[in-house]
Every structure is written in structure tokens, then in C-alpha cells.
Amino acid sequence: MKKAFKSISGSVFIAAFSLVMISSDSDPDLNDGSLYVLDLDDESTYTMTCYDELSDNQWVVKNQSCTLTTSVINLPGDPDVDPNIDIPINFSALRTGNLEEDDCIKIEYCLGGDWLLIDIIPGTELEAGEVEYGFRADNIVAGSSIQFRFVVMTNDNSEKITLKFRSEDKTVFVGTPFFAGTIELFRSGILPVSLSEFYGQAVDKQVDLYWITQSELNNRQFEVEKSTNGYDFTTVTIVQGAGNSNTSRSYSASDYSPSAGTTYYRLKQVDYDGKTAYSNLISVNIMSEGEDCQLKTIPNPCIGKCSFVLENCSEKAGSQVSFYVFDAVGNIVLSRTEMMDPGNSAYAFDSENGLKPGVYIVRGNIGEKSYEDKFILQN
């Protein structure tokens, strides 16, 4: 059976939100199920104004206008936390006879007492064989209550429109919501932890990390992870979370054995039910023993525009610096010459130059001495 996908915008209220932690799990209660299934054997799932035939889970209308309305469907989510959602509804229909433009199926939904049109399927577009249709009510506030209804109209006894309602096949159902305007399945409570700050600094031979949460929900712990390539991570330490909190809380941890050069850090947040979420990456650069200059990429990871900065080279003021950017296999993909002034040199880098996202090495040469830094390029 083929599908027709249609949609219409609904509520104009858009909830503000910030994706600080990136969830790795979707809600298992929603992913494989549906919010609602219409079953003609269960009158609690619908109401109707009229029909011509009602048998074998078929609702048939001919030569009149009849309406079938779902029960109230309580949508998941919290309007103060979650973004708006798109609600899919599927059903199957077929025609009998030569239907015309004014014979039709209207699909509508109701929020707060007002019925809004999703779409109209004219009789000329209905087929004699059963066809499955898919529609979406868009931009609906999470946590709302919604109803759908079908208004079926024909104007001749020889013209019939049939809606199929086989509950075991979920022929008519309201499925898992999506985040509005995306193809990502809805997860209620997208912000288990609201993270306002996360930074690190090199102190002597260790890296000290600090982060601040503004709120926490079901937060068991933070696992501090590090990587030298931005892909393969190991656990540095575990810090216990506050569980549930609506006040600002400060945390800290230390890496006592960092590698020389650039190391990337992230927080893995773990709920009591085992779900996890990750913070953005930060980087900290450790100078090697006896190193008199330090090359940094700011910010790192590099998103959009960043700079390569060679600093603390006070004895090399006025020297010429050659910057080179190497890809993962050692090819030079960018080069630039700058001057030290005074003791520092910077190369402004724009990631819109066509380089693909990945891990790169930047090298700064001053005479016979070289200084390197590793950076991650993101879109």
C-alpha cells in the first residue's frame, strides 16, 4: 500500500530550550509503540455522529456527512522543558463508485476547543483499493491534550468512502511524536542536566576540570572522560551527581596523568535508570618538558572560525613563523607565514575553506624548531 504524507502547522507557541547535554537514548516506552490506537470494538476510543455500515472494523459513509472523533490523547512531555512536537496519524481508506471533488475525507485535530484542518483528500484522489495515508499535526506544545477527527462526505448512494480500523494492525493510530521540524523521535525531559559551564586548565603536571549545573533530574553521576584524538575516550574519574536539584551546583575533578599536547575532555552524565548523555568537548593543552613556546587552537574543537596561536615565545620576537595544517595521512592542506609580534603569533583560520570534519595537526615552525597542536574540525 502506498502512503501520502501531509502536515499542517498547529499552535504558534514555541517553548525555549537548550541542547546542552546530548542524549544517547530515546524513550523506550515511545519508540516502538503508539500514543493511541482506534478500535471499533472499544467505544472508549472514539465517538461518531453517523454511519451507513459498521462491521469488520470498517466505517462506511454514503450519501451523507458523518464524523468520527478519537478520544482525548494526552501527549507526553513538559511544556516548560521540552520543545514542540509533531504528531503523526495514520489510517487506511478506500472508495466505492465514481467519486467527485466534493466527495472527500477531511482530517482535523482539536487543541483547546478549536478544530484545525490538517488536509482534505478529495474523492477523485481516493482509490478503489485500500491505501494507507500518513499525516502530521505540526508544532504542538508538548504535554498538550489533542483529538483527531475524520469528516467523511459523499452525495450519492452509489458512492461510498470506507475507513479501515483494524486495531491489531494499528491501521488507525497516533504514533510516536517527533521533535518539531525534525525526524528525531521525541524524548521527554530532554535536559536531565542543565550544564551552564564546563572548562579545564593545566596546573603544573595535572589538568583541573570544573563544571556547574543549574538543575539536575534523576542524575546519578558524572563520568569524566578524556581522549587524545577526539574519538576514543577513557574514564578519568567518577563524580557523584545530586540526584534532583533546582539550584546551581559546582563540581570539580582532576586528571593527574595528562598527555603532553592537546587532550579532549567530556562529561558522561548517567541517570539512575541507566540512560546517558554527553557534554560538548573541551580541550586542554599541556606543554612538554623544556618547551619555550606553546601552540594552541582556540577554540578547540574548531567550529566555524578559530585561531592558531603560538604564544610565550618572548625570545623570538620578530621571527618569522610558518604555519602548516596536516590531515590524518600527513598531507599539507593549508599553509601560512606570519611574524612574531612581540613573542606571540596568530593565524586566523576559517573552516569554510572546504576541509572536511575530522582530526588535523597544526605545526608552527620558527627556524629549526617546531611546535604542534592537534585540533578537531567540526561543521
In the chain, what are the domain boundaries?
5-18+25-179, 193-284, 291-378
Spatial CB neighbours of 307, under 8 Å, sequence gap ≥ 6: 297, 298, 346, 347, 348, 349
Q: Residue 17's pLDDT is what?
A: 22
Report the C-alpha gap between 337 and 321 in whole angstroms.
Answer: 6
Identify whether the C-beta of residue 266 lies closer than 8 Å to the C-beta of residue 279: yes
> Digits of tens for pLDDT over the chain (379 positions)?
333 443 333 332 222 222 233 333 434 344 445 788 888 888 888 999 999 988 777 899 999 999 999 999 999 888 877 778 889 988 889 999 999 989 999 999 999 888 999 999 999 999 998 888 889 899 899 889 999 999 999 999 999 999 987 656 656 778 888 877 776 677 665 556 878 889 888 888 899 999 998 878 778 999 999 988 777 889 999 999 988 887 889 999 999 988 877 888 999 998 887 888 888 888 888 876 656 677 888 888 887 677 888 777 755 555 677 888 887 777 888 887 776 554 455 666 665 566 777 788 888 877 767 777 888 887 6
Report the C-alpha gap between 366 and 311 in whole angstroms.
Answer: 12
Bridge partners for 287 per DSSP: none
Q: Residue 375's pLDDT is what?
A: 81
Q: Residue 277's pLDDT is what?
A: 80
Domain 5-18+25-179, CATH number (from 2.40.50.140, 3.40.50.2300, 2.60.120.260, 1.20.1050.10) = 2.60.120.260
Cell, residue 49: 455522529
Report the C-alpha gap between 92 and 133 in whole angstroms.
Answer: 6
Identify whether the C-beta of residue 60 lies closer than 8 Å to the C-beta of residue 158: no
Would you call 78 helix, strand, or coil by DSSP?
Answer: coil
First to last CA, the chain: 39
Q: Residue 289's pLDDT is what?
A: 60
Q: Residue 224's pLDDT is what?
A: 95
Domain 193-284 matching CATH 2.60.40.10: the answer reads yes
Report the C-alpha gap between 298 and 315 in whole angstroms.
Answer: 23
Question: Which DSSP state fits 30?
Answer: H
Cell, residue 280: 560538548
Residue positions counted in the chain: 379
CATH of domain 291-378: 2.60.40.1930
| CB burial readout 132-141, b (16+ within 10 A) else e | bbebbbbbbb
Identify whether the C-beta of residue 253 lies closer than 8 Å to the C-beta of residue 241: no
| In the block, residue with C-alpha cell 525555549 | 16
Q: Residue 346's pLDDT is what?
A: 60
Question: How many Cβ atoms are within 10 Å of 335's Cβ, its own excluded?
Answer: 11
| CB burial readout 189-225, b (16+ within 10 A) else e | bbbbbbbeebebebeeeebbbebebbbbbebbebbbb
3-state SS track over 182-218:
CCCECCCCCCCEEEEEEEEEEECCEEEEEEEEEEEEE
Identify whether the C-beta of residue 84 lies closer than 8 Å to the C-beta of residue 142: yes
Segment holding 29, helix H or strand E: helix 28-31
Cell, residue 99: 467519486
Report the C-alpha gap between 269 and 81 in whole angstroms.
Answer: 18
Bridge partners for 78 per DSSP: none
Cell, residue 228: 587524545
Identify whether the C-beta of residue 175 lies closer than 8 Å to the C-beta of residue 73: no
Report the C-alpha gap between 153 and 30 in whole angstroms.
Answer: 34
Identify whether the C-beta of residue 235 lies closer than 8 Å to the C-beta of residue 347: no
Identify whether the C-beta of residue 129 lies closer than 8 Å to the C-beta of residue 77: no
Q: Residue 185's pLDDT is what?
A: 72
Asked if 193-284 and 291-378 have one fold, the answer is yes
Identify whether the C-beta of residue 305 lies closer than 8 Å to the C-beta of residue 351: yes
- pTM of the full predicted structure? 0.47
